Amino acid sequence: MPMLGDVLAAARRSSGDFMRWLEATDRDLVGRIAAAADPAGESPTSYVRAAVADFGQYASEDDWATLTSRLRDTDDPGTVCLRTMVEWRLTAEAAARRAPVDIKEEDR
């Protein structure tokens, strides 16, 4: 079994291949990635690369535990890793859009 660092490096390198594979297998996820990438001026491939970086920097211990469990239970760790990280970023961004706005102390 590859080490997690190897899987993450492969995920970063293969995000373009991942997008081509997704276009053939999961058009819904491709659409969600494109919709999320467009307002930020990112390409879908850049969005996937950013998802890997964001997951590495911001994911919680529970998110990492979920990822490692999924990696343990699959024959395709690269795809599972990328898909998990992309879904995590899409979910985090959706939650951020629904979050209440902070009211500054002087505005109260």
pTM: 0.75
CB atoms within 10 A of CB 82: 28
Q: Specify the pLDDT at position 102.
A: 61
What token pair was written down for 1?
């079994």
The average confidence (pLDDT) of the chain is 81
HSE-CB for 20 with a 13 A CA cutoff: 3
Spatial distance between the Cα atoms of 97 and 93, rounded to a whole number of angstroms? 6
Q: What is the pLDDT of residues 27-51, one digit of tens each?
A: 898 899 999 999 889 988 889 889 9
HSE-CB for 30 with a 13 A CA cutoff: 12
Q: CB of 7 within 8 A of CB of 81?
A: yes
Residue 95 binned pLDDT confidence (cut-offs 50, 70, 90)? confident
